Homo-oligomer: A and B are copies of this chain.
C-alpha cells in the first residue's frame, strides 16, 4: 500500500476518514495501541491510517470498525463518505 499523495486523494477523503476513526477512538477513550491490538493491525500502520496517509482496504476498515464497536458504514457516514 503506497503512501498517498495529494494527487491521489485531492478531496482529502482519506484524511476525513482518518479523523473520523481517531475521533471515535478518543471518544471511547482507547489508545492507538489498544485499537491497533483489537483490530490486529500494526500500531504505526493505524497511525498512518488516522493521518490519512494510507488508502485503507475494506477488510482493514472492517477490523477497525469492529475494534471501535461500530459498523463500517457508520464510520464512513461520520467521514461524510
Contacts and interface: CB of A to CB of B under 8 A. Distances in A.
Interface residues of A, number: 22
B58 A17 contact: yes
Nearest to A60: B55
Interface in A18-74: 55-59, 61-62, 65, 71-74
Nearest to A76: B73
Nearest to A74: B73
A34 B20 CA distance: 32
**The 3 residue pairs across chains A and B that have the minimum distance between CB atoms:** A73-B76, A73-B77, A72-B81
Interface of A: 1, 4, 8-9, 13-14, 17, 55-59, 61-62, 65, 71-74, 76-77, 81
